[in-house]
Amino acid sequence: MDVLGEAINNKEEAAKTKLDCFEILDAIKKHKLNANLSIKPTSLGLSIDKKFCYKQVTELLEKAKKFKNFVRIDMEDSPHTDDTIELYLKLKKKYSNVGIVVQAYLKRTFDDVVKLNKKGAHYRLCKGIYVEPAEIAFKKKKEVRDNFVNIMELMFDDGNYVGIATHDKYLIESAYEMIKRKKISHKQYEFQMLYGVKENLRDKINADGNLIRVYVPFGEKWYSYSIRRLQENPNMAWHIAKSFLTLGR
């Protein structure tokens, strides 16, 4: 579950986002859902005051820990990559119920994972959806795919938990092959897909005996999120429109 919103400019809004996240954790607990929370660091004040953001996320992790739940720190655009990794590593010294997202389209990510693996990071690995300059990001589909596979192999080889977050059939098949070849335990990975996207493929992955986590973004700040998804993949337009039509019934 992900409360939409990022790049908040004042602490009041960031504190409101934290309360929204509290509500999600309470709802998960109340309804006994097998679900966890994903957060955008800038929505909790990362670009305003790093110490303030750390305190905010700490409060979320404390509540999640009390409920035996987990919080995933999303990765945003490149100006925030270093601060996000710094935040995660600082939190991980104290909390085991926290994970991080890394993006395969960034050229730096393989090296970041080498360092993060030494700390036993818990990952979501995705392609990435932000528009970044060619100097720091792969632009060709094959380059991104190759980097995704190489990073996934590095994570598995170092014994890290991997959330394989993709709707790309090629990458899913590559993951299947790697999991079989390396005899990876089902306890070491899961697949992750967006709610309402390629549901038949999602159900097949699940039917094949793999764990599936469905990413459910919601909230008032849906517009910027949808625009980024459309920039990444214009075919996503149908899935977004279908979701809105479904909600309107």
Q: Kindly list the catalytic residues.
A: 74, 124
Annotate 167-177 with b (16+ C-beta within 10 A) or e (fewer): bbeebbebbee
Cα distance between residue 84 and residue 231, in whole Å: 23
Cα distance between residue 238 and residue 48, in whole Å: 36
DSSP E strands in 48-160: the ranges are: 71-73, 98-103, 122-126
Q: What angle do CA 24, 91, 154 make, to 5 degrees?
A: 100
Query: Which strand (E) or helix (H) includes residue 192?
Result: strand 189-194
Cα distance between residue 33 and residue 64, in whole Å: 13
Please identify which residue in the block is written with the tokens 């977050």.
165
Please identify which residue in the block is written with the tokens 């991997």.
162
CA 135, 137, 141, 142 dihedral sign is: positive
